[in-house]
Amino acid sequence: MAISRDQVLAALSRVTSPGGVALPDTGTLSEIVVSEGKVFFSIAVDAGAVKAWEPVREAAERAVRAIPGVSAAMVALTAERAPGSARPTPVRTSGPAGGAGNGGAPHGHAHPHAHPHPQGQPPQQPGIPGVAAIIAVASGKGGVGKSTTAVNIALGLQAIGQKVGLLDADIYGPSVPRLLGLKGRPTSGPGNKLLPLKGFGLEVMSIGFLVEEETPMIWRGPMVMSALTQMLREVDWGQLDVLVVDMPPGTGDAQLTMAQQVPLKGAVIVSTPQDLALIDARRGIAMFRRVDVPVLGIVENMSYFLCPKCGERSDVFGHGGAQTEAARLGVPFLGEVPLHMAIRETSDAGKPVVATEPDGPHAKIYREIATQVRDQLAATGGARQAPKIVVE
């Protein structure tokens, strides 16, 4: 049975604000999104009222989940700048299952000179229970094969003896379910935490498991940050050596949320050799450096094309640009991945090349990259303190 917006509002009318007003009458609700039994919306309040409104958010989520036919509910609590205040108040976002954290500015961008909090050493953000290291696989722009690279690096780490999880944090374009051939919905485990799906030995979580593949994710920053918080902290990841996070392209809310929510041990930057992609890769490197996340290295994807029939090599996007850029910026160069039919075909089929053709040349390349990532992680030493982004 289809869930209507009116049904959601009727359920929310039984939830009252701290002042005793029915929630739909408070003027705090965002647009309510209902899709295939899943309900998403946010509650926007003044920053000083966040603590008082958190029980309201929890009650709203319970009320929506109690509606017959609702399979999942995600309610974000966001804090906005009070009118006339001199500067933006950092947003606080709460995960849909009640987790809370510190996020970035919801409706703006971090100042170019965002920096760690100036008053002494910032408090170290807690890691994810059971997860030894969290790394981000990122790119400055889309279309460079970041998700394919992330999946195969995760499988490469597993192939060299690591226990690995994979978080698809590309909220607007989740592709990990397709790349791993995974379908289904996460179930709840102990402590009401979501249990990740398993794909080729990896522990996997993606927003793509909660929405249909063709459903557009028309979310603003606060809901993106809330979803990321839930998938990080409200999932039972078990015991992992490495959690690989497939980041959305760019340098916006999701990246800043990751830098604040968890102590990332490092980031892998994916780029093609062409100048346009490298310009954006530089921005990605600069962003992670700005928030004190070590850059583990650059991968040059689609480095060259090998004809599957004659074996002739063609440098479709140029060649060596990422390696040159890595040397110029003083970061490790992790390797070249060719543009090859086998990688494309196995990815489209949900049978990644590292898992399904482990003895092939492409799997060997990814394992070598994964080995360097593991070694770079070992070299970074202890836990990194997550900076508090100051928005000016």
* Residue 171 clears pLDDT 70, i.e. is over it: yes
Whether residues 185 and 66 fall in one domain: no
Instruction: Find out whether 59 and 44 touch, Cβ atoms under 8 Å.
Output: no
Mean pLDDT (the chain) is 78
Domains in the chain: how many in total? 2
Check residue 105 and give its pLDDT: 34
In a domain, 389, yes or no: no
Instruction: Find out whether 103 and 225 touch, Cβ atoms under 8 Å.
Output: yes
Q: Read off the pTM.
A: 0.68
In a domain, 119, yes or no: no
pLDDT digit string (tens) for 42-86?
Answer: 888 887 788 899 899 999 999 999 999 888 888 877 765 444 433
pLDDT digit string (tens) for 120-150?
Answer: 444 455 678 899 999 999 886 667 889 999 9
Whether residues 85 and 145 fall in one domain: no
Check residue 317 and give its pLDDT: 61
Check residue 260 and give its pLDDT: 65
Last residue of a domain, one of 55, 89, 123: 89
Which helix (H) or strand (E) element contains residue 151? helix 146-159
Q: What is the Cα–Cα distance from 339 to 302, expressed in whole angstroms?
A: 4
In a domain, 306, yes or no: yes
Check residue 64 and give its pLDDT: 93
Whether residues 84 and 150 fall in one domain: no
Strand partners, 206: 168
- Between 172 and 209, the more confident residue is 209
CATH number at residue 17: 3.30.300.130
CATH number at residue 331: 3.40.50.300
Whether residues 278 and 355 fall in one domain: yes
Whether residues 47 and 191 fall in one domain: no
Check residue 316 and give its pLDDT: 62
Name the one residue in this structure whose structure tokens are 């015991």: 239
pLDDT (average), residues 362-391: 75
In a domain, 212, yes or no: yes
Whether residues 32 and 161 fall in one domain: no
Q: What is the Cα–Cα distance from 343 to 131, expressed in whole angstroms?
A: 29
pLDDT (average), residues 166-172: 87
Last residue of a domain, one of 37, 64, 89: 89
Whether residues 204 and 330 fall in one domain: yes
* Residue 385 clears pLDDT 60, i.e. is over it: no
Whether residues 169 and 73 fall in one domain: no
- Between 73 and 245, the more confident residue is 245
The confidence band for 87, taking pLDDT boundaries of 50, 70 and 90, is very low
**Which of 29, 41, 46, 128 shows the shortest CA–CA distance to 80?**
46
In a domain, 178, yes or no: yes
Collapsed DSSP state (helix, strand, coil) of residue 356? helix
Whether residues 75 and 156 fall in one domain: no
Range of the domain at 362: 131-380
Whether residues 74 and 184 fall in one domain: no
Check residue 153 and give its pLDDT: 97
Max CA pair span of the chain = 74
In a domain, 309, yes or no: yes
Whether residues 56 and 145 fall in one domain: no
* Residue 384 clears pLDDT 90, i.e. is over it: no
Whether residues 265 and 347 fall in one domain: yes
Return the minimum-mean-pLDDT range out of 86-95, 287-296, 367-376.
Answer: 86-95
The confidence band for 365, taking pLDDT boundaries of 50, 70 and 90, is very high
* Residue 93 clears pLDDT 60, i.e. is over it: no
Last residue of a domain, one of 38, 57, 89: 89
**DSSP one-letter string for 75-112:** EEEEEEPPTT-SSPPPPEEE-TTS-EEE---SSS---T
* Residue 320 clears pLDDT 80, i.e. is over it: no
In a domain, 101, yes or no: no
CB atoms within 10 A of CB 285: 24
Check residue 233 and give its pLDDT: 84
Q: What is the Cα–Cα distance from 266 to 261, expressed in whole angstroms?
A: 14
Return the minimum-mean-pLDDT range out of 90-94, 232-236, 274-278.
Answer: 90-94
Residue type, 100: A
pLDDT digit string (tens) for 9-47?
Answer: 999 999 999 999 999 999 888 878 887 788 888 888 887
Check residue 165 and give its pLDDT: 97
Determine the straight-line distance between the first and last CA of the chain, rounded to whole angstroms.
Answer: 47
In a domain, 123, yes or no: no
The confidence band for 275, taking pLDDT boundaries of 50, 70 and 90, is low
